[in-house]
Amino acid sequence: MPPVALRADPVSAPAPACRLESPAGARAFSVVPPAPDWVAPGVTRKIAAVLAERPATPCLVVDLDVVEANYHALRAALPEAAVYYAVKANPAPPLVARLVALGSSFDTASLPEIDLCLSLGADPARLSFGNTIKKARDIAAAHDRGVDLFAFDAEEELRKIAAHAPGARVFCRLLIDNAGAEWPLSRKFGCSPAMARDLMRLADRLGLRPVGLSFHVGSQQTDPAQWDPALEAVARLFADLRADGLAPTLVNLGGGLPTRYGRPVPEAAVYGARIRDTVARLFDTAPDLIVEPGRGLVGNAGVLETEVVLVARKDAAETRRWVYLDAGRFNGLAETEGEAIRYPIATDRDGDGAGCGPVVLAGPTCDSVDVLYDRADVHLPLSLAAGDRLRLLSTGAYTTTYASVGFNGFAPLEAHYV
Ligand SMILES: Cc1ncc(COP(=O)(O)O)c(C=O)c1O
């Protein structure tokens, strides 16, 4: 099953074109049981076995051993930090159950995510209601279920929490720069340090326990140094809050750990070492650390299998073909928005000797925004034809739940967890 990489990316495809250099992040797993058994770049033996049965497409196949190995690698990289899996990345019950069994905690975005974790045996004391935008009745329901840790970044939200989860632990999210992130999360979330200071003092007056601060350096953050300025802001604010008579201890490092798409990314150990050094440099007393990985835990665990529906040209003289798949922006591949996330691609025709040529890759719906890659300069085999299979690698995160319920009549993305 030879792979085809996105050729626009010089790092992943240096020597022969149409090649992905090594299994996604495989080196990070080699020392940790159960070691996923990579049989091709981005594809484990278990995933290959499911694909060999020619499952109906489009479908996502996720190897939970990869998730487990990622979890162990992160624990080893940042042993002081409690891992709160960001459920939104992939809320599949078998995946969440595996993480419950491993002792993970969970960052949840909504009451249904809280109920999902609880139904799979998670302890409510290990859940954080990390969304800064919550309905009052959902705060009350979460608190009734035993959830005691809530995020906020605005006064009205804080007052809702004080009213509906009295005495709860709260942390304030800081607005920080997301430079270096391929999927930035800045602007919408967080508040300035000055506002955070005022709100933390207000939380105390409202009878809440203002335990600490959080931030998110942006998803698919490829630069481990990006945690430094955020931690510097947190350390300064901790000092100010102590001067105000508060005793913050919690530093929530957020998500942002990357997965391997086309381009190699630093391993978890590199991020862990950098964050640990920075924390040791900035804090006199070791804070309680939380890390909220989503993509970094599950991204490289999944393969999205699709079928080519049509290969066409807009004019006989055009060299660039249009390849239309049975999966697109509305059934799992929303993160191709702006061509931000560039999944490595493999097809059954790779290496068949026919050579590769440039394509525009598009989804199956009658919506013109349903184009996956146009500027990305994707090259695919010239022999590719309707009915062939094409797989997108490293698709374990932010795919199944981004699928619409039935746009143009296409069903949500099926998934298999092995
Ligand atoms: C509060 C919070 N924590 C963690 C994450 C996970 O981020 P990532 O997938 O980049 O690890 C997100 C993603 O949106 C988030 O909103």
- CA-wise closest residue to 108 among 117, 99, 98, 95: 117
Predicted pLDDT at 179: 78
User: 216 and 308: one domain?
Assistant: no
Q: Are residues 86 and 38 in the same domain?
A: no
Is 293 a pocket residue for ligand 1 (Cβ < 6 Å)? Answer: yes
Choice between 31 and 350, residue whose per-residue pLDDT is larger: 350
Query: What does the pLDDT look like over 150-165, one tens digit per residue?
Result: 999 999 999 999 999 9
| 217 and 284, same domain (yes or no) | yes
The answer to whether 297 touches 92, Cβ cutoff 8 Å, is no
CA distances from 344 to 7, 25, 133, 341, 355 (A): 10, 13, 34, 10, 18
Which pLDDT belongs to residue 26? 38
Question: What's the pLDDT score for residue 182?
Answer: 81
Position 263 scores a pLDDT of 86
| Measured distance CA(395)–CA(87) in Å, rounded | 15
> What are the percentages of helix, strand and coil residues in the chain, rounded to 5?
35, 25, 45
Residue type, 395: T
Tally helices (H) and strands (E) across the chain. 10, 21
Average pLDDT over residues 247-275: 96
Is residue 330 a contact partner of residue 407, using CB atoms and an 8 Å limit?
yes
Residue 338 CB contacts under 8 Å (≥ 6 apart), including other chains: none
pLDDT of residue 184: 75
| pLDDT band, very low/low/confident/very high, at 183 (cuts 50, 70, 90) | confident
Residue where a domain stops, chosen among 298, 315, 339 = 298
385 CA to middle of ligand 1, Å? 38
Distance, in Å, from the CA atom of 63 to the CA atom of 249, rounded to the nearest integer, reads 36
Same domain, 240 and 333: no
Rounded mean pLDDT, 271-281: 98
pLDDT in tens, 228-237: 999 999 999 9
Cis peptide before 58 (omega within 30 of 0): yes
Q: Is 292 in the pocket of ligand 1 (CB under 6 A)?
A: yes
Least confident of 17-26, 32-41, 127-136, 213-222: 17-26
Domain with 222, as residue range(s), is 65-298
Q: Is the CB of 193 under 6 A from ligand 1?
A: no
Q: Are residues 173 and 101 in the same domain?
A: yes
- Amino acid at the residue 185: L
- Where residue 92 sits, what CATH number does that domain have? 3.20.20.10
57 lies in the same domain as 78: no
Which residue, judged by its Cα, is nearest atom 4 of ligand 1? 255
For residue 254, give the 3-state DSSP assignment: coil
Q: Tell me, yes or no, if 18 is annotated catalytic.
A: no
DSSP 107-143: EESSHHHHHHHHHTT--GGGEEE--S---HHHHHHHH
Identify the band that residue 178 occupies on the pLDDT scale cut at 50, 70 and 90: confident
Q: For residue 34, what pLDDT is reported?
A: 66
Per-residue pLDDT, 180: 73
CA 175 to chain centre: 19
User: With 80 as the cut, is the pLDDT of residue 57 above it?
Assistant: yes
Q: How far apart are CA 290 and CA 74, in angstroms?
A: 12
Determine the pLDDT at residue 185. Answer: 74
Single residue among 272, 298, 324 that ends a domain in this structure: 298
Both 334 and 278 in one domain: the answer is no
Indicate the residue among 298, 329, 356 that finishes a domain.
298
The total number of structural domains in the chain stands at: 2
Closest CA to 342 of 2, 8, 41, 51: 8
Is the pLDDT at 346 greater than 70? The verdict is yes
Q: Are residues 349 and 372 in the same domain?
A: yes
266 and 313 share a domain? no
**CATH classification at residue 368:** 2.40.37.10
Are 227 and 325 in a shared domain? Answer: no
Instruction: Kindly give the number of the ligand 1 atom that is closest to the alpha carbon of 220.
Output: 10
Domain identity same for 188 and 267: yes
**Which of 129, 216, 399 gets mutated to test ligand 1 (max ligand atoms within 8 A of its CB)?**
216
For the chain, the average pLDDT equals: 91
Q: DSSP state, 300? A: G
Q: Please indicate whether residue 255, judged by its CB atom, sits closer than 6 Å to ligand 1.
A: yes
Task: Name the β-bridge partners of 306.
Answer: 390
Token representation of residue 229: 């300025």
Q: Could you tell me if the CB of 89 is within 6 A of ligand 1? A: yes
